[in-house]
């Protein structure tokens, strides 16, 4: 599969994520203006991918500066514009600053890209090792939520990376994909990525997941994480708690795959993690009567006692022992 | 609120449910041909409402027969056509047969309509009594799933009837409405009905419900039922299990409101209830890549041990004792 982001002949090549799944188009980005536009219109998205876009953006700006004879002031102004293209994405501005401070920005950007990719593959393999130890003897049916593959992360992704590693070991039967309302990242992006990888999958409504788990139609649940508190509580896309609770009820593992950088030792527990409330219109769409109020939390908190293990690029942290089925 | 179905001056007056929530239009149905068309295009829907439409259809046909001088054979043929307008809705054909066998079909049809309405109001009051005993001392925040009001049932409905009874007693704070994917009956119909009744409500994604329940944002969950097995297992719209499990986890009541006719003593338990698998397209819509497989169960089974009580028009059956929070 094409990576979400690559560096080719001094250009950035990116999958235009606004067109997926109906059209696959690669953007060839040669200038900072093109990069900023692509970030602003969400053609490039996902926190780790935005970080890499920031790093590569510095390399791109240096090439353009050499080509067009920019002053040092002009270069600095361009970098500032890249860094602020998405004000809330801390990864973007952080990686622009880190790469700009490097002696050789292009080498630093490529190293960042390579490291992120390697990290995701290491995490994927550790996760597959863990699941195969936990659920030996049969090809697994794995349920996942939201989009956690190469489009949102680098390389193989997080939870979807674990699924890919199982598939490459011929240890995967199929994937149950939560559609992930309200924005349908599961239906739009995860189904597309699994299709690209030739991995068998079935789309389900989010509310069907707990029932299918209870009915014995999944051997394990794997998701990503947006933040992990010091006590092991996990903030992730809304709906994660629901499948974690069902996994516990059914006695199957609920595994979180996330890089070490997701762990936040300064936040003691989930109740200290602020949960973003997003616009009602994402939920009401055109179906509900005009003016309907909605309560649209973008994330939820899964308490540590429902988490079987957290898998990072370095380790597997077993949080709880799964109840026998 | 206008009833889903009424009898006025020898005509059937029905809410055109295909236009909700964006347009409210009453159909004035004077002939059997018009009635059959309205049933086939789902302008009239919901099993109890279809049963009443069958009963009123017999009265309508008798009026038309008298006006137009139909033969007995013609009348019989028209009744057969009404009965088979929706082949899977057993209520429709059952009520056509029952009403046609009555000495005075028009009186029998009106009695059926009146009985169904009275039954739903009795059930609603019993449900409100039960919840107020269980959760005393504060206006309640009630979460519900799918559409169970006057549009689908007669009168006040089942679960939505309980909510209406709480509202009329000034014992309701607000309703959390699951959108109810894939067909969005919660977003489209329940929000519309609550709006008509002036009841405060907030629409939520189905996958948010378990988290909101765990967070303490609901005092009780009330749903309807499609079938209740002899052991108390409940078949209902997909997603019901998920909120029942969350209610148990949070220690709040999960109450099922359904008429006695929903109880099926011939089915020993939930595993004997066949679950309808519907078309993938309902889930994939236009979001997923073309050709994506989906696993689209229309209903799920909530085991009796997650059900706090079943409320019918005659009684409250307490199935389990709620764990203290």
Distance CA(B44)–CA(A172), nearest Å, equals 45
| Strand B5-8 to B11-15 pairing | antiparallel
Burial class (CB in 10 A: 0-12, 13-18, 19+), B165: buried
pLDDT (average), residues B243-258: 97
Please list, in sequence order, all residues whose beta carbon lies within 8 angstroms of the beta carbon of residue B69, skipping any fewer than 6 positions away. none
**Does residue B322 surpass a pLDDT of 90?**
no
Percent of chain B at pLDDT > 70 equals 97
Our CA angle for A158, A164, A165, nearest 5°, is: 95
Using pLDDT thresholds of 50, 70 and 90, give the confidence band for residue B152. Answer: confident
Q: What pLDDT is recorded for position B65?
A: 97
B176 touches B141 (CB < 8 A): yes
B176 touches chain A (CB under 8 A): yes
Residue B27 bridge partners (DSSP): B14
DSSP letter assigned to residue B273: S
Using pLDDT thresholds of 50, 70 and 90, give the confidence band for residue B19. Answer: very high
Which of A265, A270, A280 minimizes the C-alpha distance to A300? A270
Q: How far apart are the first and last CA of chain B?
A: 37
pLDDT (average), residues B240-257: 98
Using pLDDT thresholds of 50, 70 and 90, give the confidence band for residue A320. Answer: low
- Specify the higher pLDDT residue, B261 or B166: B166
Please list, in sequence order, all residues whose beta carbon lies within 8 angstroms of the beta carbon of residue A162, skipping any fewer than 6 positions away. A123, A124, A127, A128, A131, A142, A222, A255, A257, A311
Distance CA(A254)–CA(A302), nearest Å, equals 10
pLDDT (average), residues A207-215: 98
A238 touches A297 (CB < 8 A): yes
Put simply, the answer to whether A205 touches B181 (Cβ < 8 Å) is yes
DSSP letter assigned to residue A304: G
pTM of the model: 0.91
Q: Give exposure, A1-17, as e/b (b: 16+ Cβ within 10 Å).
A: eebbbebeeebbbbbbb
pLDDT in tens, A149-158: 999 888 999 9
Distance CA(B264)–CA(A174), nearest Å, equals 36
φ and ψ at residue A144, rounded to 5 degrees: -135, 165
Q: What pLDDT is recorded for position B325?
A: 35
Catalytic site residue from A226, A266, A300, A305: A226
Nearest beta carbon to residue A287 from set B187, B210, B217:
B187
Judged by average pLDDT, the poorest of A21-30, A49-58, B43-52, B314-323 is: B314-323
Distance CA(A157)–CA(A163), nearest Å, equals 10
| Strand A26-29 to A11-15 pairing | antiparallel
Inter-CA distances, A302 with A145, A153, A181, A287, A316, Å = 13, 21, 18, 30, 18
From chain A, the residues in CB contact with B289 under 8 A are 21-22, 191-192, 195
* Catalytic residue check, A226: yes
Burial class (CB in 10 A: 0-12, 13-18, 19+), A286: exposed
Q: What pLDDT is recorded for position A55?
A: 97
Instruction: Give the residue on B whose Cα is nearest the Cα of A285.
Output: B187
B183 touches B282 (CB < 8 A): yes
**Does residue A138 surpass a pLDDT of 80?**
yes
Q: What pLDDT is recorded for position A223?
A: 97
**Does residue A324 surpass a pLDDT of 50?**
no
Q: What pLDDT is recorded for position B324?
A: 38
| Strand B220-223 to B227-229 pairing | unpaired
CB interface of A with B, residues 211-230, below 8 Å = 211-212, 214, 217
Distance CA(A241)–CA(A210), nearest Å, equals 10
The residue whose two tokens read 């109001």 is B121
**Does residue A322 surpass a pLDDT of 60?**
no
Put simply, the answer to whether B214 touches A181 (Cβ < 8 Å) is no
pLDDT in tens, B177-227: 999 999 999 999 999 999 999 999 999 999 999 999 999 999 999 999 988
Distance CA(A74)–CA(A84), nearest Å, equals 16
pLDDT in tens, B24-33: 999 999 999 9
A65 touches A31 (CB < 8 A): no
Alpha helices in A41-104 (DSSP H): 47-68, 72-83, 90-100
Strand order in B220-223's β-sheet? B201-204, B172-178, B140-144, B220-223, B254-257, B309-311, B316-318
pLDDT (average), residues A88-114: 92
Distance CA(A147)–CA(A239), nearest Å, equals 13
Please list, in sequence order, all residues whose beta carbon lies within 8 angstroms of the beta carbon of residue A160, skipping any fewer than 6 positions away. A144, A147, A148, A149, A150, A190, A193, A194
Distance CA(A52)–CA(A48), nearest Å, equals 6
Q: What pLDDT is recorded for position A91?
A: 79
pLDDT (average), residues B127-131: 98
A195 touches chain B (CB under 8 A): yes
Nearest beta carbon to residue B283 from set A22, A179, A214:
A179
pLDDT in tens, A33-49: 999 999 998 899 887 89
pLDDT in tens, A238-283: 999 999 999 999 999 999 999 988 888 899 999 999 888 989 999 9
Compute the mean pLDDT over every residue in chain B, rounded to the nearest whole number. Answer: 94
Q: What pLDDT is recorded for position A88?
A: 66
Residue B264 bridge partners (DSSP): B229
Distance CA(A234)–CA(A224), nearest Å, equals 9
Residue B237 bridge partners (DSSP): B299
pLDDT (average), residues A190-208: 97
Q: What pLDDT is recorded for position A89?
A: 64
């Amino acid at each position: 599969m094409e990576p979400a982001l690559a560096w080719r002949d001094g250009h950035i090549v990116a999958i235009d994520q606004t067109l997926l799944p109906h059209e696959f188009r690669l953007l060839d980005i040669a200038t900072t203006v093109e990069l900023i536009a692509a970030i602003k219109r969400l053609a490039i998205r996902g926190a780790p991918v935005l970080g890499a876009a920031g790093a590569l953006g510095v390399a791109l700006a240096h090439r353009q500066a050499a080509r067009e004879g920019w002053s040092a002031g002009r270069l600095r102004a361009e970098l500032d514009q890249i860094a602020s293209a998405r004000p809330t994405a801390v990864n973007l501005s952080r990686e622009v600053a880190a790469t700009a401070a490097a002696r050789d920005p292009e080498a630093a950007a490529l190293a960042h890209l390579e490291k992120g990719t390697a990290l995701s593959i290491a995490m994927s393999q550790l996760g597959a090792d863990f699941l195969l130890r936990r659920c030996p003897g049969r090809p697994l049916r794995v349920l996942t939520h939201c989009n956690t593959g190469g489009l949102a992360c680098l390389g193989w992704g997080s939870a979807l990376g674990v699924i890919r590693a199982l598939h490459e070991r011929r240890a995967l039967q199929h994937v149950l994909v939560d559609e992930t309302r309200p924005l349908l990242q599961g239906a739009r992006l995860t189904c597309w990525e699994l299709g690209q990888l030739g991995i068998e999958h079935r789309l389900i409504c989010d509310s069907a997941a707990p029932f299918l788990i209870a009915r014995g139609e999944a051997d394990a649940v794997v998701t990503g994480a947006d933040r992990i508190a010091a006590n092991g509580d996990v903030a992730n896309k809304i709906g994660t708690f629901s499948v974690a609770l069902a996994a516990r009820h059914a006695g199957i593992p609920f595994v979180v795959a996330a890089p070490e950088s997701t762990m936040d030792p300064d936040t003691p527990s989930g109740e200290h993690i602020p949960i973003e409330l997003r616009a009602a219109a994402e939920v009401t769409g055109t179906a509900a009567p005009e003016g309907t109020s909605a309560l649209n939390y973008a994330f939820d908190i899964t308490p540590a006692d429902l988490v079987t293990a957290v898998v990072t690029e370095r380790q597997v942290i077993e949080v709880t022992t799964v109840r026998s089925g």
